[in-house]
Amino acid sequence: MQLADEWVEYVAATAITAHAKVYVMAIHHFCLYIDEKLGPEAEAVSLADHGFFDLLIGWELSLPESYAPSSTYPSVLAAALRLLIVRRDDHSDRAVAPDLARWARGPALLAAGKKTERDEFSRSEKQALVRTAWQSVHAIRKRLDEGWALAEQGQHPDVGSWTSIADLLYGLANEEITPDDVRRHIPPPREWPPELLAFATRPGQDLVPQSARQQLVRQLFARLYPHTFDLHAFRVLLMDATGYTSEEVTGFGENQVEFLPKGVRLSLLKNRAGLLRHRAFRDQPAPADGPQPQSANADQVTMDRPRREASAVVRQLLDITARTRAKAPHVTDTLFVAAAVSSRFTAEFGKWDPQSRVNFSHWLDAMGVAIKGDRHIGRLRKSVKVEKAIVTEGRISDAADDHTEEAFASHYAQGTTLRILSGRTIATAQQHWFDNALARVDGPTVVPDSSTGVDHDLLKDTGLSAEEAEAILAGQLDMGVSYCKDPYQGPYSRPGELCAVAPLRCLECRNAWILPSNLPQLLLFERHLERLRVILAPPVFARLWGQSWVNLRAVLEDRTPEEIALALKHIEAGQAVLDLPMAANTEFDA
């Protein structure tokens, strides 16, 4: 009772709603644990008793046994009980044992756990949801229109008949009879005409005599007013059209609706965040060429077109629930008002409860919508957020327009579709840079070996001008390890100035041309780089000489063993010398 009293005061002081059940669960779990451990002595236990500390520790450590390994419930329940004890200890007139107070204010013994984020509905599932919801809305309107039209044809059952559908609808619609009057005056089911029996029987079910009167009255009410089952379709359509949460699209009343020339403005309240936002939803113009055909590629990520218009959904909801809202004037904060007949045959008009006996999962089953995974309406909001992220090309600041960017990154950016899009974006970027790298010549051009030697025509065929080919053959452009077609237009010096990095950077230069006669110098340059690989740290060598080393290895791998052996003989005979600047021999790791 002590913990229950604290819970009652805490809920009254904080006005918490859905989270209040967590404290009830914590108290329930704790009391069951105490009953199991102490037996009959548990009735006399008080928070002021000493020696209660070990029981609290044991209870907290036993919580994970009832939940999944990564569940957040154990830590949440433990924190809830700690808060109630701390609250009680804060009052000087309420006794709490000192060791219990220290436990409640001390560090948690359980890890917080990991919450599994729900994935969004697939594109096909979302399309099926929206399509089925619109079909349901049209069926609701047709059912109600036919019901009221039939009621206009009837009369009071005392004048007409208590087994006439039209007369019963007339009496209920005009409030001349009550559901309990139907129960008392209608004859037994065995005396009902066939059309009344068929009317009261639900599709796919048999009419049970014991509940036949109740089923009949509920079917009559369903012809006059929308019931709980009907409103699931409107919630689906509003969440799809606006992209806002379930509590927001079901939490605005008639006074929070303002129709615009081309759209509607809604006042949306998010209870969890305490935010009231006024948002305008514009109608989209019809496409000039008609509806676009769907792509045949099922893996292609696209959006539903045309977009559902919030104004059309709100108008339908206002019209269909008008009579129900007139019966419930006390409900002004929502358009989601449903009618029902209780087991005591009393008519009830009140706020819609989406978690009632007919919840979203039952609606999916009844409408024949196949959904994989968790049947939670929150997944629909994630689907809309994914579409928004696609439209904004992944800009979180635009996609997170009704919450923080941190909330988007934590709750919405982990969906399957966004992961696929991210992977495609990365792959596309990688392919783009890879293609550019292949198209760009960052190294020398290697002239293929020729058994007859390299002549003027061969150099011209590889892309050199007549003057450049003549200069290379004359040895005027020899830079040491390669030839340079224009040493005054190098990428490492200003235009018009002689290249200052030759021959150290020739293997990274697009102006360099390597002929078969350069092979001995290339082998000597390889020895120089191998010495630097020993002296320098790997990161330093990769930064300074990595590209030269890769290009050099690629050039040498294209040479035959016979060519390399002949070049080594030239080196041993002193016929090949590699001239390097003095700076090339002073490399060190700074």
Q: Examine the pLDDT at 299 and tell me if it is beyond 60.
A: no
Closest CA to 479 of 455, 452, 501, 497: 501
Closest CA to 518 of 483, 549, 493: 483
C-alpha torsion 454→457→462→465, nearest 10: 120
Identify the band that residue 434 occupies on the pLDDT scale cut at 50, 70 and 90: low
Q: For position 320, what pLDDT does the model report? A: 95
For 295-413, strand residue ranges (E) read: 337-341, 347-351
Contact 187, 199 (CB under 8 A): no
Identify the band that residue 374 occupies on the pLDDT scale cut at 50, 70 and 90: confident
Identify the band that residue 407 occupies on the pLDDT scale cut at 50, 70 and 90: low
Q: For position 273, what pLDDT does the model report? A: 60
Identify the band that residue 517 occupies on the pLDDT scale cut at 50, 70 and 90: confident
Residue with tokens 């909801």: 317
- pLDDT, greater one: 574 or 189: 189
Q: Which helix (H) or strand (E) holds 483?
A: strand 483-484
CA distance 387 to 507: 49
| 81 CB-contact burial (10 Å; exposed 0-12 / middle 13-18 / buried 19+) | buried
Contact 264, 311 (CB under 8 A): yes
Identify the band that residue 188 occupies on the pLDDT scale cut at 50, 70 and 90: very high
Q: Examine the pLDDT at 450 and tell me if it is beyond 60.
A: no
Q: Does the pTM of the predicted model rise above 0.95? A: no
The set of residues, in sequence order, having a beta carbon less than 8 Å from that of 219 and lying 6+ positions away, is: 199, 200, 202
Contact 341, 348 (CB under 8 A): yes
Angle at 366 between CA 362 and CA 367, to 5 degrees: 115
Strand, coil or helix: 460: helix
Which of 42-46, 97-101, 157-161, 292-296 shows the lowest per-residue confidence on average (mean pLDDT)? 292-296
| 482 CB-contact burial (10 Å; exposed 0-12 / middle 13-18 / buried 19+) | buried
Q: What is the mean pLDDT of the chain?
A: 82
CA distance 23 to 568: 85
